Structure 1
Amino acid sequence: MVVTMTATASDVAYGDGSETRTCVVLGGRGFLGRSLVTRLLRLGGWIVRVADSSSHSLQVDPSSASDSILFAALSSGQASFCHVDVRDTSQIIKVTKGADVVFYIERTDIDTHDFYNCYMIIVQGAKNVINSCQECKVRRLIYNSSADVVFDGSQDKLIWDESFSCPGKFPDVLIDLKFQAEGLIRLANNIDGLVTCVLRPSNAFGPGDTWFVPLLVNLAKSGLGKFITGSGENMSDFTYAENIAHAHICAAETLDSRIVSVAGKAFFITNLKPMMFWEFVSLILEGLGYQRPFIKIPTWIVAYVLSLLQRIHEESHFRIDKYSPHSIVQLASRTTTFDCSEAQKHLGYSPIIYLEDGIKSTIESFSRLAKDSSFMRDNNFKEQSKAVKLLGSGIVADVLLWREIKRTLLCFLILASLFYWFFLCGRTFTSSVAKLLLLVTVTLYGYGNLSSKIRAFAIKRISSSCFEITESTVKNSLRSVSYIWNRGIRHIKLLGKGEDWSKFFKVTVFLYFTKWALSYSLAVFVGIAMVFAFTAFFVYEQYEPVIDGLGEVLFYGIMESKELLRRNLRTLIASFLQN
């Protein structure tokens, strides 16, 4: 059941602030905003004005735990909702009039490809919020920033604290603009009676997360969730959403009593328990039924693939993601832990939810995204490997995968003997074939003249049918030859038209590889192929997941490189023809 409430000016209960305190949560329907609203309502003593720009009407689901609390508060008048666009000062003034505290939590669904819109929402929005609070005589303003404002991704840092200066250049436009907004909030402290405070949570997660957990699930579904960027030993701080909400309330309470030690300052907020980034990712994915990451990929390879993606998609005006790929790589490969002692000392903050409990509740809240992998686990032993399927699940598979060691060694010795006979004995290929046929003829003739019994052993005769070729076999062979011939002619015609750039690329690579192979002696090529056949398939079967993963990354990089080459080649040819 979903209840929809339309936001109007009358929906905002201003209150007089004599018995209960009135607060405004700007961005109250976002990921962190919902947690803050829910905690304020649970604590009591607050009239909460939920302000958000996501829609003009508020949709609540009474079956949801957090929404049920909000639904009851809306019905009793303890909470109200109003649509507010931070780019419009008049709308902010309408909702902040008579409030004691404003919690400003920006929306996260901003289109980063529209810089002007980002600037207006983040930077100009912060200016509008400050001006509105000063005009409405709001006493306290708490701004939710990010711990990323001190991290430029250039180096690992074990512990950051508030004494570190922010970098001059940011790898992500959102972080750059958020840093500017944070500076405006802090500079507005003690102007026209307004005291401000900035919180910098690190890697927020929890129920309702719209970015991190969905991103991990999408990567797992696409098959890319098995990769670890870098060494996999980088440490990170993660902060549960309800702890971030608790930190905001601590900051609001502290601004009333210890203004000097808090006002105008920024504080890192964490769960006080750093852990390896990829261990956290593994716990989330395993909890949802997906395989934990286990294949380590060098950071430069991931960065190269992402840079290709970014360049190609920018040229085609196609968006790959609303988040910076560079930021994702840095987050996944760098050590970034933060000192939260200042928040503990001055704000009286300490986590109210342990990290383990937060991970557990997050997994439970995303049960809809879970993968039912019990069938795969129970039946995995019955499934044939890709190597077996590739080799046809017959005698060839048994030989090349070393299922029967005696048979494999016998086949290898026979092939090694033939290799020596044709390539290493010093004869020409024609004379080697002639002598082999002579040897086979003499052997068959001698076998045919043997007695039917030799010392009580029966000699089984070879049937003449073994040397006959059926009419159907001849027809099928001719059909195969004609099919290959016609297919080759069709490909040549397509190349002659000059329309299929993908086929041109494939033929070019094949011809170059053939030229490279023929530049060596045929003996070397055949020897390498024989050794490869008896080792590669066996190794592939033993390390199939790892090799498949590396192959996917390599294939993805090649395809993106081919697309980039095709795009640039077409432009160069067109420019050449015009000139």
Structure 2
Amino acid sequence: MATRTRPSSKRCAVIGGSGFLGRHLVERLVDRGYTVNVFDIRQAYELPGVSFHQGDLCDRQALLGALREVSVVFHCASPAPASDDRALFHRVNVDGTRTVIQACLEAGVQKLILTSSASVVFEGTDIKNGSEDLPYANKPIDYYTETKIQQEKLVLEACSKEKGFLTVAIRPHGIFGPRDPQLVPILVDTARRGKMKFIIGDGSNLVDFTYVENVVHGHILAAEHLKADSPLCGQAYHITNDEPVHFWDFMSQILEGLGYSAPRYHLPYTLVYGIALLLWLMAVLLRPLIQIKPTFTPMRVALAGTHHYYSCARAKKDLGYQPLVPLREAIVHTVESYPHLRKGA
């Protein structure tokens, strides 16, 4: 019987490599001397040293083509949370992840690094310096997060030293940076429609926002430190900028950097939450007759008005993680990358 060639430790695959985080990850891996296969539903760019494989995440045979002779797989494919497509969330985050695990095992992949989310432990109430020991949310903030919880469990439970298949989950929070298709464009669109005038609560709530390069750094550290005798096996790690910031200060810095007015008027948190809850209940009751999608859901209000920031102590200890780009510098880089979104552009 022919012996199986051991995959090179510098050969990896990025599932979801055409997306926002995925592309930044691919670029950094290439810079570090990795040979990269990208698997995605679409090809969004070309890069020397990168092979692109297009296909459906639930197609195991298509995945196997991208995982051949690969040692490390980064799984960061996920639908945009704002899409509100429950069937898509389950298909990609749960069914797709099962397929990824099966394909990794069949292809002889040694390491799987998942992009999870710190929100898997958030239930709409304050979290201050939360550790990875917090339990999964019994009442997740939305269905997207519910599927991310299922996804993370699947990946971490698949870790098997006996099979030579090691897994770890990275939990970033509030990713932002150049080419971000969500946070900055949505913020600017809201401002242009005159709907960024109000601060929910007193504005004192602290939240983690994480620059994309720091998230990438955390992923690569996890891949390079994940070994059978390491504490990483089957564990989750928070990766943030480690600089909790007032939620509305962060939003204001982005808006003002692009020439828009920052929100100034305060609305009581309990009032806005109560209105959002009432609108959500009305939407549920009227669902058989008419489809209503309230702009403000109770959980979106909670995201804007509560403390939720997380400790990176475990990542510092086990991965040697330190953010590469401080928050102030990250905001400047991000604002400069959106000249087309400036007021008057």
Is TM more than 0.5 here?
Answer: yes
Residue in structure 2 matching 1:287, options 257, 260, 263: 257
Give the deviation of 1:128 after TM superposition. 0.7
1:366 and 2:338 matched:
yes
Pick the aligned partner of 2:28 from 39, 42, 58. 39
**Contact 2:155–2:167 (CA under 8 A) maintained in structure 1:** yes
Aligned to 2:302: 330
Match of 1:351 in 2: 323
Aligned residue among 135, 148, 151 for 1:181: 151
Tell me, in whole angstroms, the C-alpha distance in 2 between the residues paired with 1:109 and 1:164. 25
Structure 1 segment 495-534 matched on structure 2, within 5 A: none
SS at match of 1:352: coil
How far apart, CA to CA, are the structure 2 residues paired with 1:89 and 1:362? 37
How big is the shift at 1:35?
1.0
Whether the 8 Å contact between 1:112 and 1:118 is mirrored in structure 2 is: no
Q: In the alignment, what sits opposite 1:225?
A: 196
Q: Does 1:317 align with 2:291?
A: yes
Gaps of 5+ in 2: none
CA contact (8 A) 2:170 2:239 kept: yes
Q: Bigger radius of gyration, 1 or 2?
A: 1
Percent same amino acid among aligned pairs? 37
The 5-angstrom pairing of residues 178-577 of structure 1 reads 178-190=148-160, 192-256=163-227, 259-307=229-277, 310=280, 311-312=282-283, 314=287, 315-317=289-291, 319=293, 325-372=297-344
Using the size of structure 2 for normalisation, the TM-score is 0.91
TM, length-normalised to structure 1? 0.55
Following the alignment from structure 2 to structure 1, what is the Cα–Cα distance between the partners of residues 311 and 168? 17
State the 1:215 CA deviation: 1.9
Q: Which amino acid aligns with 1:178?
A: K
Q: Hey, which of these two has a bigger chunk of strand by percent?
A: 2
Specify the SS of the correspondent of 1:225: coil
Q: Deviations over 1:453-512 (max 9, x none)?
A: xxxxxxxxxxxxxxxxxxxxxxxxxxxxxxxxxxxxxxxxxxxxxxxxxxxxxxxxxxxx
**2:127 maps to 1:157:** yes
- Report the secondary structure of 1:261's partner residue: coil
Q: What is the CA-CA distance between 1:222 and the residue it aligns to?
A: 1.5
What is the rounded CA distance, in whole Å, between the counterparts of 1:223 and 1:110 in structure 2?
23
Contact 1:205 1:238 in 2 (8 A): yes
| Structure 1: gaps of 5 or more residues | 1-14, 61-69, 374-579
8 A Cα contact 1:171 1:327, kept in partner: yes
Residue of structure 2 equivalent to 1:484: none
> Relative to total residues, which structure has the larger helix share, 1 or 2?
1
Deviations 1:334-393 (A, max 9, x none): 0011110110110111111111111011101122111039xxxxxxxxxxxxxxxxxxxx
Q: Is the 8 A contact 1:134 1:193 kept in 2?
A: no
1:50 corresponds to 2:38: yes
Instruction: Return the offset for 1:110.
Output: 6.2
Q: Which amino acid aligns with 2:40?
A: D
State the 1:260 CA deviation.
3.0
State the alpha-carbon separation in 1 of the partners of residues 229 and 140 from structure 2: 31
Does the residue aligned with 1:186 lie in a helix, a strand or coil?
helix
What is the CA–CA distance in structure 2 between the aligned matches of 1:51 and 1:232, rounded to whole Å? 41
Q: 1:124 deviation in Å?
A: 1.1
Superposed CA offset, 1:239-271 (max 9, x none)? 100110111100000014x64311100000011
Deviation at 1:326, TM superposition (A): 3.1
1:91 to 62, 67, 72: 62
Which residue in 2 is equivalent to 1:22?
Answer: 11
Contact 2:122 2:141 in 1 (8 A): no
